[in-house]
Amino acid sequence: MDKHDLSKSDLETKLIHTGHSFDPVTHSLASPIYQTATFGFDTVEQMDEAWNELGYLYTREGNPSTIQLEKKLAALEGGEAAVTMGSGMGAVCSTVLTLLEKGEHILCSKGLFFHSDIFFRELIDKMDAEVSFADFKDMEDVKQNIKENTTIIFIETPENPKLGVVDIKEVAELAKENDCILIVDSTFAPPPIQYSLQHGADLVLHSLTKYINGHGDALGGAIIGRKDLIEKIKYPGMPCYTGAALSPFNAWLIMRGMATLTMRIQKHCENALAISKFLESHEYVEKVIYPALESDPSYELCQKQMNGLGGGIVSFWLKDGIKGMTVREADYKLCNNMNLLSIATSLGEAHTLIQVENSNMIRIAVGLEGAQDLIADIKQAFDKL
């Protein structure tokens, strides 16, 4: 049990202290990892009691390490409750399979992460439910796609990988008017960048694999927000039935990462802004997208909704014809020339990662190295083109 009332504490304090207590047996200050598949009882009666009171019986159904993480996640977003899953996609799948009923319609953003997009296009389409897609940066398109049977709106902001920023407040008002649940995938902008629930979302979703863990060594996912909806997802147990439960060790790693989230986020954002300005000034760059750049179409909304912080992803296109190369040839050469930046997918970890997208766009998932070192590496990669 928390010794202090943390409700009015700073986010940094909440992330360290929420759900934390000394281990009652050994007084270990660091939380133990309850790395067990099952739980043992002296008597069958005790086991029955644990079952009836939703105590711990088997880790796929619940574990003290994952429950501790869920308390921290609820505190992070200011939500009533949270439920964790084995990955971000586990969270997408468990949430939608729980909340979407037969014959209902879900309206999704056209700008979703491609695995979420495939999940909606291919899996939901196979169910007795309807799915359609709208550009959520164009509210007229959204309004036209709302139907009588629309019950859920699912958006992502900023969008992966093109960094479109959606006005959560505007969408939340429309969702309310139409009696829809609004789910926001905020993986690219966790607090202290964006507080989706405060802007009116019913549920906020995260791939914990990214900034929230922050060290690139564990997969995880979570959904946070209204208690009635979280309980529906948690009991009788979509993560349990889909098998998308989080491992206790990953829960422990993610909690360890969360203790430094606010400091890391500041550094990711400072580095990303510096890199985006460098790229914008480079003669070989056609276009840069980064929501905190004044030239970006999302700049105003970023100030309003993202505390002026653009996040850790910078996307850009090279010019066609650099030294006689096509854009794609130059993209590959530039990435191959990098020394400090690693060619890899994912984001939100200490290492800076770079990848070429299908649209010939290059995405940099900016890490925590020194900004000048990163810029020097990118500069030498351009010089060698």
Ligand X SMILES: Cc1ncc(COP(=O)(O)O)c(C=O)c1O
Q: Which residue is nearest to ligand X (CB)?
A: 88
Build a one-symbol-per-residue string for 109-128: x at contacts with ligand X by CB under 6 A, - elsewhere: ----x--x------------
Q: CB under 8 Å to 306, separation ≥6 — which residues?
A: 158, 165, 189, 193, 194, 291, 292
Residue 87 as a binder of ligand X (CB under 6 A): the answer is: yes
Residue 160 as a binder of ligand X (CB under 6 A): the answer is: yes
Residue 95 as a binder of ligand X (CB under 6 A): the answer is: no
Residue 157 as a binder of ligand X (CB under 6 A): the answer is: no
Residue 252 as a binder of ligand X (CB under 6 A): the answer is: no
Q: Single out the residue of 384, 383, 362, 366 nearest to residue 374, CA to CA.
A: 366
Contact residue for ligand X among 156, 167, 202, 296 (CB under 6 A): 156
Total binding residues for ligand X by CB under 6 A? 14
**Minimum gap (Å) between residue 207 Cβ and ligand X:** 3
Residue 89 as a binder of ligand X (CB under 6 A): the answer is: yes
Contact residue for ligand X among 191, 216, 221, 311 (CB under 6 A): 221
Nearer to ligand X, 15 or 244 (CB): 244
**Minimum gap (Å) between residue 179 Cβ and ligand X:** 26
Residue 196 as a binder of ligand X (CB under 6 A): the answer is: no
Of 185-193, 276-284, 304-312, 316-324, the segment contacting ligand X by CB under 6 A is: 185-193
Q: CB under 8 Å to 97, separation ≥6 — which residues?
A: 238, 242
Residue 185 as a binder of ligand X (CB under 6 A): the answer is: yes
**Minimum gap (Å) between residue 213 Cβ and ligand X:** 9
Of 36-44, 184-192, 269-277, 299-307, the segment contacting ligand X by CB under 6 A is: 184-192
**Minimum gap (Å) between residue 248 Cβ and ligand X:** 17
Residue 209 as a binder of ligand X (CB under 6 A): the answer is: yes
Query: Contact residues for ligand X (CB under 6 A)?
Result: 87-89, 113, 116, 156, 160, 185, 187-188, 207, 209, 219, 221
